[in-house]
Structure formats: structure tokens, C-alpha cells
A and B are shown apart, each in its own frame.
Chain A
Amino acid sequence: MFKRLKPLTVLLSYLLLGNFTYTFADNTEFHFPLSYQWGRGLSWPAANVNLGGYFNASYQQPEFIQNKTALDELGFFFTWSPHQRIRFFSEIDLNDWLSTTGIDKIEHVVRAERLYVDLLATESTTLRLGKFLTPVGRWNVTHAAPLIWTTTRPLVTERRLFTSHASGFMLSQKVDINDHNLDISFYADNSEELDVLDNQLGFENAIGSRVTFDITEQLQLGASFLDYKNRSITHKTRNNLFGVDLLWKKDGYEVEMEAIYRTAQDNQGDEQGLYLQSVIPIIEQIFVIGRYEYVNGIHRYIPTDTHIGVGGIAWRPFTPLVIKAEYLFGEQNQYVAPSGFFTSISMFF
């Protein structure tokens, strides 16, 4: 048995000692050792491997619902580029594993949030195969808690409106238009056949596209289209979803907006909504956040005409770490997003 383990031990020792070098033409060696950086993960440059992840823990005190303290998310990233044209990426998450309402079994909470391989066809064309985040708007594709400003998620980006990930392929093209980046993506989903380690609310199938354009260094516009059918009870017939979004950033200030319109041919009917969020730096990595949301139509089979306001504060003492606190309030929001106090701490590791 030990003989069998020996090659593995040697490999692990080699990994842990970080003896990876590039050899120069003059036969001297340049060391890029195995290294860890907080918020950037464990990096093994010579093999193009990176391991990392993030966590989010929250305390939620919504009105008329039990308070909860929970480890909402614990996610692990693995990136490997075995060839210059191939890049593998996975994110395996444990969602809602530990909370004051109970400890769930691992097999119930583990999910493959993302599991794909990128094939770099050319300098500007990429084919993605596998499971990836559905590219509708900005929030869904950057939804990791350490990246976003609030503990609560806007209704128009919710998983129950459209599934947060798709399984299939995505073709992406980058175009440089007078030194402005234009990104165009087309994707097709067949989650019913291809999805792994998930999920009751996935697509049955879908097709979609997304375009983003950098108007200036500070301003990015995006547009999304999604035609989908869900496996779940809600949105059983085909739905069409159209979205536009905007992000402006400068000197720590941010304005972000997403608007969607969803239509279906059954009693789900139509739904439209938006959120508009602003971020203002105050002092030393402390930011004030304000968000307005509006949703009108049939949301999760509930007729809504909901206005929501969120006022919060976020403190980023270090780049990978953020601590947030906010109060959510609104009109006709008790069923879809109850008012209350929400706070969380999240960190990349």
C-alpha cells in the first residue's frame, strides 16, 4: 500500500514545496513558487492551477418570519489551464449548510454552481462548454457575496424569475470598436439532460444572448435576451425575458441599474421591474448604499405591484473582506421580500 502511495507522496511533496521553475536560456532558473495570497487563493503558476473560494455568513431579521443566523454560502473555486487554449473552471458550493434553524446534510447542500471548460478559439473568440452562470444582467454573473454591496438580492435578479445558471454551450466574441470593448455572447441550455449536482429550479431548456459595451472607462451598458422553459412548477410554458442594464463607476462611486420584462403565454402572465442602486464612499472604505426596486406583474404566481427601498452600509477593511448591514422596507412586499434588518460578513479566501 505504501509503495502505491509513494508516487502520490512525491507528487504532493513536490506540490507543497513549490519546486516549480522556469529555466532560462542561460540555464539559470527562475522560481515561481506555489504561493497563497489572501483573496487570490492558492496559486501554482507552473501548472496554471489556482484554488480559492469565498464564504458568506448572515444574520437576517425579517418581519413576521423567524430570525436566522446562517452560513449561507461556502464556495470553492478550482481553475486549471492545462493548455494555452483550454481553461477549466469549477465552483462547488455548500448553500445554507449551517444555520440556527438546523444543520443540513452535505448531500442536500452541495451544488456545482459552475463547471465548465473554455476553449479559446482565437484571441477574441471563446467557446464555453458546461454549466455557467446565466448571463442576464450584471448581478447574476457577479453575485458572490464579497463582490456585491447588500445582503439582500434585488427581486429582478432572483433565481425564481430566471435560473441563475445554464448548462450547455456559450459562444463569446470580443470586438474592439475604436478602443471600446464590445462583448457578444450566444448560449443554449439543455439542463434537463446536462445539469449536474443540482437543482429543482433549473431550466428545462433555454437559449439566450447578451451584449455589453464599454461606452467609456467608467460606463458600461448591457442588454440580455432569454427564451426559456423551466422544469419547475412555475413558468411551465415558454417565457421570453428582455433586460437592459447599466453600470457607472468612478472614484468609489457607483450607479447600477437593471430592468427586465418577462412575458409568458400562460397564467404566469407578464412581469416587469427594475432596481437602481447607488454606492457612495464616505470614509476609509466605508460606503453608503441606497437601492430602489419596483416589480409589477405575476412574481412567483403572486400578483405584485411592489416598491422596495434598501438603505445600508458596507465596510471593506481589506480588499477580500466586506461587512454589510441594511434595512429593507417597502409597499406590498411582505410576500416577495419582507421588510427587515439584514447583516452579513463575507470574504474571499
Chain B
Amino acid sequence: MIALFLPRLIQVITLSAAAVTLSYAAADEILVITQPNSALKDFSTKKLENIFLRKSLLNDAGVRWIPLNLGTEHPLRQAFSLSLFKKRPEALETYWNEQYFQGIVPPHVVASEEAMLRFVTSTAGAIGYILPCHLDERVQVIYKLPTVEPVEQYCKDRTP
């Protein structure tokens, strides 16, 4: 009896564990996106940090980075900021004050993930971020940023 059910039990447990793992991986990362066919290489969290802090102004191909943000209240912006900088967007205001004195202003803000997708699709050098559930063929994923807290619940918040 045991010999009969054991393989089936192991299969069920394994599949369940895999499903949980996949679900976790898909939900707990933010996708960093650019135009399709961007020839970008050696991407890292530090590089992403430097782009969104506007310490790095040009990409490998010599094209100006145009980083995009969602509004500071947007839950995905909060999750992105916490995951990348370990700080909420509001905590970076002092940094942006210093950059303003150097003639550097923060990334442009768009109203929604759809706006981000559309801007990135049409603009060379634009770089933004979306949830995995909102990914489509218009953009290229160049980096998967692990999040410090689950973001799956924001999938319903897509604003056209």
C-alpha cells in the first residue's frame, strides 16, 4: 500500500513545492525594462542604482539614460525604492537636494505602469520598471530586481 502511494505522494509534494517556488519567484521581483533589442550588458543592482540616482548618465552604447519613476505614493515605486536603495522615496529627498545644486534633477515621473511601458517602448535610453504580471512584448527585460516584500497584490492596480 505504502509502496503504491509513496511515489505519488512524493510527486505531489515536489510539484507543490515547485509551484510555490515559481509563484514566489514571479511575485517577488520587479522587472527592469528598456526598448526591445537594447544591446546592454553586465547589468547589476549597483548599475541600476547609479542610473536611478543619476550618477550614471550614459549607457554602454553612449545613449543618454532616461530613467522613469512612478509617483512617490505608488506602491510599486515604494517597493522599487526599498528594494534598490533600501530606502523609501521620501528618504532620498536630501540626496536630490544635493544633486539639484549640481544641476541634476530626479527621474521623470509617469502616472502608471502602462505609461511607463509606452514611454519605454518609444524612447531610446528610457529605462523603467513594471510588475511581472504586466510584462508584454513591447519591452525588453534587462534585469530582475528581487524585492524585499511581496508585490504580487499590486497586479490588480494596473491603470490603463
User: A: which residues have CB within 8 A of B?
Assistant: 22-25, 28, 30, 32, 39-41, 43, 45, 50, 52, 54, 77, 79, 81, 84-85, 87, 89, 120, 122-124, 142, 144, 146-147, 174, 176, 179, 181, 217, 319-320, 348
Contacts and interface: CB of A to CB of B under 8 A. Distances in A.
Contacts, number: 85
A81 B104 CA distance: 11
Contacts of B47: 176
Given A39-B97, A147-B98, A45 B118 contact: no
A179 B46 contact: yes
Interface stretch (B5-13, B53-61, B140-148): B53-61
Contact of B100 (A23, A40, A45, A124): A40
Among B46, B60, B100, find the residue whose CB has the most chain A CB atoms closer than 10 A: B100
A28 B103 CA distance: 31
Given A23-B122, A25-B121, A84-B62, A79 B103 contact: yes
A123 B58 contact: yes
Contacts of A348: 97, 100-101
B93 interface: yes
Contacts of A146: 97
A176 B44 CA distance: 11
27 contacts: A22-B119, A22-B122, A24-B118, A30-B115, A40-B96, A41-B100, A45-B108, A50-B105, A54-B101, A77-B100, A77-B101, A77-B103, A79-B103, A79-B104, A84-B64, A85-B64, A89-B102, A89-B103, A122-B62, A123-B57, A142-B101, A174-B56, A181-B55, A217-B86, A319-B93, A319-B97, A320-B97
Given A25-B121, A30-B118, A77-B101, 17 more contacts: A22-B122, A24-B118, A28-B118, A30-B122, A40-B100, A40-B106, A43-B105, A50-B105, A52-B100, A54-B101, A79-B105, A123-B58, A146-B97, A174-B55, A181-B46, A181-B50, A348-B101
Contact of A123 (B60, B96, B100, B103): B60
Contacts of A32: 108
A122 B100 contact: no
B41 to A, nearest CB: 11
B54 to A, nearest CB: 11
Contacts of B121: 24-25
Per CB-CB distance, the 4 closest pairs between chain A and chain B, nearest first, are: A84-B64, A79-B103, A89-B103, A179-B46
